[in-house]
A = this chain, B = another copy of it.
């Protein structure tokens, strides 16, 4: 049984850009922790045929899905369905950690 940790002991940050910490990946999905320092972002983009879920674990982020933008905090989550433009930006002064699920992985 492969056990992972997704709490603060697993978080990792980079001064250069948003850090992705991979938890699991199969041919059907991946699950990552996205760790963003203040000012870092994942630029809006879209994937045909893939669904993505963002769940905020720590901090606050500005999320875009389609033409909509909202600030979400810990304990909130949002779905970006197939083809919908989506992204996240950490405009706060604190670190942001987001569980990010995608199915299927975009490369498959």
Q: Which residues of A contact B (CB under 8 A)?
A: 1-10, 23-24, 26, 28-29, 31, 50-51, 53, 55, 63, 65-66, 68-70, 72, 74-79, 81-82, 99, 101, 103-104
Is A78's CB under 8 angstroms from B5's CB? no
Q: How far is the CA of A67 from the CA of B51 in the complex (A)?
A: 32
Residues of B within 8 A of A3 (CB): 70, 72, 76-78
In-complex Cβ contact of A76 among B4, B50, B75 (8 A): B4
Residues of B within 8 A of A72 (CB): 3
10 A-B pairs with least C-beta separation: A7-B75, A1-B68, A103-B103, A29-B103, A28-B103, A1-B65, A24-B79, A28-B51, A26-B51, A4-B77
Is B53's CB under 8 angstroms from A5's CB? no
Is B7's CB under 8 angstroms from A31's CB? no
Is B2's CB under 8 angstroms from A79's CB? yes
Is A101's CB under 8 angstroms from B31's CB? yes
